[in-house]
Amino acid sequence: MQCRDGAGGSVKIVANAAKARYWNVSMASQDPALLRRLLRAKDRMDAASEEDWPVERLANVSGVSEAHFARSFKEAFGVPPHRYLLTRRIERAKALLRDTDALIIEIAFQTGWNSLGTFGRVFRDVTGESPSELRAREQAAAHQLDEETEVPT
């Protein structure tokens, strides 16, 4: 939710705080058995985020209907299951870009993307920069840190 006001966005901050309180209250009010089943599905996505996880498969892992799973997951975790999975994939891709010299296309496929174009578009949407921009920025920061910590001989 984004609102414009004369206070420089304070309405947005208040709205986000209210949204966070709503999700925390609603998660606490859910059935503990259902939360355990939702966490089981979430854990499976975390362990194999490169795999396809349609709602049908996640609902089967959780032992609930597809509609109930999708609604309950969003209520419990604040994002729909598909968005959660995309976020996990992007987090993994960021780590691989930062920590390896693997080609970007290899990283895209390793993290579950079937298309380099889709990977690049979603990556930019989530992070605000392309995979190659992130890699270049991270490498420059690491190089600068190395120079600052070198001991003169």
DSSP string, 106-134: HHHHHTT-S-HHHHHHHHHHHHSS-HHHH
Query: Cα separation of 67 and 73, whole Å?
Result: 10
pLDDT category at 26 given cuts 50, 70, 90 is low
Give tens-digit pLDDT for 72-82.
999 999 999 99
Residue found under tokens 């997951």: 73
Residue 37, pLDDT > 50, answer: yes
- Residue 18: band (very low, low, confident or very high) from pLDDT cuts 50, 70, 90: very low
pTM score: 0.73
